[in-house]
Amino acid sequence: MMISDGYGPASHTFARTFYQTLHRNSSDNPDGVPPFNWGFPLDKALVGSHRSRSSDSLITDSAAGATAFSCGLKSYNGAIGVDSAGTPCGTVFEAAKEKGYLTGVVVTSRLTDATPAAFFAHASSRALESAIAAQMLEKPYEGGERTIDLAIGGGGCWFYPSSHPESCRTDNRDLISEARQQGWDVREPPSSDKGAAEVKGPHGEQKIATSATSFNTSYDLQGQSGELPFLSLLTSSNTPYVIDVPSDSKGRAAFPTLSQLAEQAITLLADNARSKASASKKSQRKGFMLMIEGSQIDLCQHQNDPACMGREAIAYQEAAGRVMQLVDELNAKGEKTILISTSDHETGGLTLGRQIGNDYPEYLWYPERLTGVQHSGDVLSAKLLEYYRTGPGARSLRQFVVGHILGPEGGLGFGAGTSGGEITEGEISRVLECLPSSRSMVVPPIDNDDECRKAIVDVASRRANIGWTTSGHTGVDIPVFTHGGAALGEGLHGIIENTDIGKYISKLLDLDLKSISRKLNVK
């Protein structure tokens, strides 16, 4: 299963058009991308959409959204693997483990974040990340099996004891040592990641602010090979945004792509499932269930940052294309495999077309004005505040905004002769107005208080003529895609409930979620 967190119908149109615009006439595309009818591989896999509401709101959060997929039931916003009464519910991972399948998660946020957590943990609130991290290593019930065999993602700080300088934990448990004692193959975040400046994200989580410079540029997948159970902690907190990851002269990104991570996970799980199968009777042969999340699409949309979202969404679509190929290869070997790709909800109320001013608007939006954007609003805001705090003064500040924030020197890429167009006085003023009146008043901005980030991404959105209605989530229906023969069966076509996806997985793998729920709740 793949989950594009926060990615709605407009995000999909945006991502496709942005990709076409980026690759039109580019040298890395010798075949030429047909400008109008080209599509992502997933486009051909659309089967319908799901209604995403939770038990207590017409607008779900990621926790209730993921619990709908993992337990097949509606729960309240904030619920991690518990029903609407707060009682732990059996998840497809727990039931799959009992049937002999291997399980895994790959995410670009923290492994303790709501979406992955709902598959392997039970918590009354998504904020209980210390407990969620610990549950990854624990048996969910007496006589049960470990719920998860592979975990690749950020959030390393939740695994260090509170005495550790990088720790986010509320207790002194050292989960990295505990995991190693249990036989896990653990890869820790590279030391260059530690000490990165951090701010609070939209859900109050720790988030790397200056991610562009805070990780090791020789970073790799922390080993292509590995042993199950496998725990790869890529970063201390969330992984850096795709748009902030530098590339070398050959265009190779300095941080693993979602596509690479997904392939690493599928290879490890499929190889292990195969060797496990050959050691057991043919009738007992089982495969694996993997959840791959494009987590950061959601954060970019929370921040109403169009280019940040576009780059994350393209990385997700590229990963989905690769996963579809791998699914085909497994099916060709007779190992029946399907992919389900969907989102938990839409974030930001993104819309393509925007009325600016009172005049009746033209029917236009401009993806080409965003192709030169070189960093997330998060990083640009941090750069601007740092320059204001330590730079030489007002005159050079204006030049800095024109060149490095709005302009082509690592900024939004606007200016004379660029596809973004010339920078206006109004845009410069709007960005300068975000700064506190005195440089001594600069403090690291937190989440929605980051006025400079808001001003910068608003300049980009207005230029592209796209709109946002909220920094939170919205309640629109969400597209559902499937690939692989078995997926064409009953249960996912048309407009379904998000819970039907959990029920479908359960039926497909012949799982008994109710019996797991009973075992979880033995007093």
Tokens in use for 205? 């989580």
**How far apart are CB 274 and Zn ion at their closest, in Å?**
33
- The CA distances from residue 423 to 195, 368, 514, in Å, are 36, 15, 60
Tokens in use for 251? 């265009």
Distance CA 219, CA 190 (A): 8
Nearer to Zn ion, 294 or 306 (CB): 294
500 is in an annotated binding site: no
Nearer to Zn ion, 344 or 500 (CB): 344
Which residues on adjacent β-strands are paired with residue 473? Answer: 347
- The CA distances from residue 284 to 212, 267, 338, in Å, are 47, 21, 19
Nearer to Zn ion, 8 or 156 (CB): 8
DSSP states of 315-371: HHHHHHHHHHHHHHHHHHTT----EEEE-S-EETT-EE----SSSPPPS---GGGGT
**How far apart are CB 293 and Zn ion at their closest, in Å?**
9
Query: Residue 6's closest CA among 345, 247, 397, 250?
Result: 345
CB atoms within 10 A of CB 279: 9
Distance CA 367, CA 379 (A): 21
**How far apart are CB 72 and Zn ion at their closest, in Å?**
18
Given the residues 11, 62, 75, 259, select the one marked as catalytic.
62
Under 8 Å between Cβ of 6 and 342: no
Nearest-5° Cα angle at 122, 117 to 128: 70
Nearer to Zn ion, 4 or 211 (CB): 4
Q: Measured at CB, which residue is nearest to Zn ion?
A: 62
328 is in an annotated binding site: no
473 is in an annotated binding site: yes
H/E element holding 96? helix 92-98
Distance CA 372, CA 22 (A): 9
Distance CA 35, CA 519 (A): 55
Nearer to Zn ion, 173 or 203 (CB): 203
DSSP states of 369-384: GGTT--S-HHHHHHHH
**How far apart are CB 1 and Zn ion at their closest, in Å?**
14
**How far apart are CB 205 and Zn ion at their closest, in Å?**
13
**How far apart are CB 295 and Zn ion at their closest, in Å?**
8
404 is in an annotated binding site: no
Cβ density class 48-83: b for 16+ within 10 Å, e for less? bbbbbbbbeeebbbbbbbbbbbbbbbbbbbbbbbbb
**How far apart are CB 265 and Zn ion at their closest, in Å?**
20
5 is in an annotated binding site: yes
Nearer to Zn ion, 298 or 427 (CB): 298
Nearer to Zn ion, 97 or 203 (CB): 203
Under 8 Å between Cβ of 205 and 110: yes
Helix residue ranges per DSSP H, 208-354: 258-278, 296-302, 306-332
Indicate if 506 belongs to the active site.
no
Tokens in use for 68? 């709908």
**How far apart are CB 117 and Zn ion at their closest, in Å?**
12
449 is in an annotated binding site: no
Nearer to Zn ion, 60 or 214 (CB): 60
CA atoms within 13 A on the CB side of 85: 4
Under 8 Å between Cβ of 233 and 188: yes
- The CA distances from residue 378 to 30, 175, 254, 370, 411, in Å, are 34, 31, 19, 16, 11
Give the list of residues 6+ apart from residue 420 with CB closer than 8 angstroms, or none. Answer: 368, 369, 370, 371, 372, 373, 412, 413, 414, 463
Interface residues toward Zn ion, by CB under 5 A: 5, 62, 298, 344
113 is in an annotated binding site: yes
115 is in an annotated binding site: yes
Catalytic residue annotation? 62
What residue numbers does the annotated binding site for Zn(2+) cover?
5, 298, 302, 345, 473
What residue numbers does the annotated binding site cover?
5, 113, 115, 293, 298, 302, 344-345, 473
What residue numbers does the annotated binding site for Mg(2+) cover?
5, 113, 115, 293, 344
